């Protein structure tokens, strides 16, 4: 018996297919028992969108209370808060920034409108008296004379462009000093002169004609171009070369002074 027991080989324990399936089920069951927060999400993560940055508000430049033109902050502050609330200060601020703007424009265009030598201008004007005398006697055409005869005030120009009201006074004084008698004589046959008077003719016809001659010399241009410059720079002259002595009569007094 002993030999038989010793010689008999031990049989290996084999697992059946049923056991394998059961083991696999147990393994999968154990995995399913894992906490859900440890599971891996295979979906691509969504990046959080950043809120767009708001562009900083552009600081609005202060504006002139009269014409609403943009002004530099330093210029505006220099006038203080009174300029915003007081009408007189508003007008002064408006005049100041306009003067500054016109000075820059004059320099850019090489107009001799700033720091005019008035004594020299009077001497220059004297050289053109012979031409103005001929014009007074009808030897030369003048659009200003036609405007005076037509009584269209909107076409009448009183100031010689960038020379302004002060320039008009200087030229007027020179004209009347030299040509007063000639204008008076011409008025015997010229109805426009007779109706308007010596001063009106000198102011409305001879002053702008002389202004054209001076601008032709200043800018080295012909009479047509000089006339354009004179018309375009009227406001410049009014601001840069103001004059306390106003050559124009009061509107009520001069309502019919150009009537023929």
Alpha helices (runs of H) in 151-190, residue ranges in sequence order: 164-186
State if pTM tops 0.85. Answer: no
Residue 221 pLDDT: 97
- Distance between CA 76 and CA 60 in Å, rounded? 13
* pLDDT given for residue 149 in this prediction: 80
96: Cβ–Cβ under 8 A, 6 or more apart, which residues? Answer: 79
* Residue 228, token pair as written in the block: 């354009």
Q: What is the pLDDT of residue 47?
A: 56
Q: What share of the chain is helix, strand, coil (3-state, %, to 5)?
A: 60, 0, 40
Annotate 82-97 with DSSP letters as a single string. HHHH-HHHHHHHHHHH
Torsion sign across C-alpha atoms 119, 123, 126, 131: negative
| pLDDT at residue number 31 | 44
Give the CA angle between residues 202, 203, 208 to the nearest 5°. 95
Of 70, 48, 47, 44, which is closest to residue 59 (Cα–Cα)?
A: 70
Residues with pLDDT less than 70, the chain? 1-59, 81-85, 151-155, 244-260
Distance (Å, rounded) from C-alpha 33 to C-alpha 29?
6
Task: Please give the backbone phi and psi of residue 134, each rounded to the nearest 5 degrees, phi first.
Answer: -65, -40
Contacts 24+ apart (CB under 8 A), 216-223: 217/124, 218/111, 218/112, 219/110, 219/111
Q: How confident is the model at residue 120, as a pLDDT? A: 95
Q: Are 66 and 90 in contact (CB under 8 A)?
A: yes
In this predicted model, what pLDDT tens digit does every residue of 159-194 receive, in sequence order?
A: 899 999 999 999 999 999 999 999 999 999 988 888
**SS3 assignment, position 70:** strand
First to last CA, the chain: 168
Count Cβ atoms below 10 Å from residue 116 Cβ, excluding itself.
18
């Amino acid at each position: 018996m002993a030999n038989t027991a010793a010689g008999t080989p031990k049989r290996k324990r084999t697992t059946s297919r049923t056991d394998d399936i059961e083991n696999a089920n147990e393994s999968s069951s154990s995995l399913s028992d894992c906490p859900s927060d440890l599971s891996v999400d295979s979906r691509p993560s969504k990046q959080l969108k950043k809120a767009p940055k708001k562009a900083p508000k552009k600081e609005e430049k202060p504006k002139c209370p009269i014409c609403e033109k943009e002004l530099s902050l330093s210029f505006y502050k220099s006038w203080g808060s009174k300029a915003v609330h007081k009408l007189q200060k508003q007008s002064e601020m408006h005049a100041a920034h306009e003067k500054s703007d016109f000075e820059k424009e004059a320099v850019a265009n090489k107009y001799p409108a700033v720091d005019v030598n008035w004594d020299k201008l009077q001497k220059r004007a004297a050289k053109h008296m012979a031409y103005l005398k001929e014009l007074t006697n009808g030897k030369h055409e003048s659009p200003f004379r036609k405007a005076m005869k037509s009584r269209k005030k909107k076409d009448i120009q009183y100031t010689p462009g960038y020379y302004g009201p002060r320039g008009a006074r200087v030229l007027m004084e020179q004209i009347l000093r030299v040509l007063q008698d000639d204008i008076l004589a011409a008025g015997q046959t010229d109805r426009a002169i007779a109706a308007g008077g010596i001063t009106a003719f000198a102011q409305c016809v001879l002053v702008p004609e002389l202004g054209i001659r001076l601008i032709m010399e200043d800018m080295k241009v012909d009479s047509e171009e000089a006339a354009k410059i004179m018309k375009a720079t009227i406001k410049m002259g009014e601001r840069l070369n103001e004059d306390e002595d106003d050559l124009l009569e009061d509107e009520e007094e001069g309502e019919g002074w150009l009537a023929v």
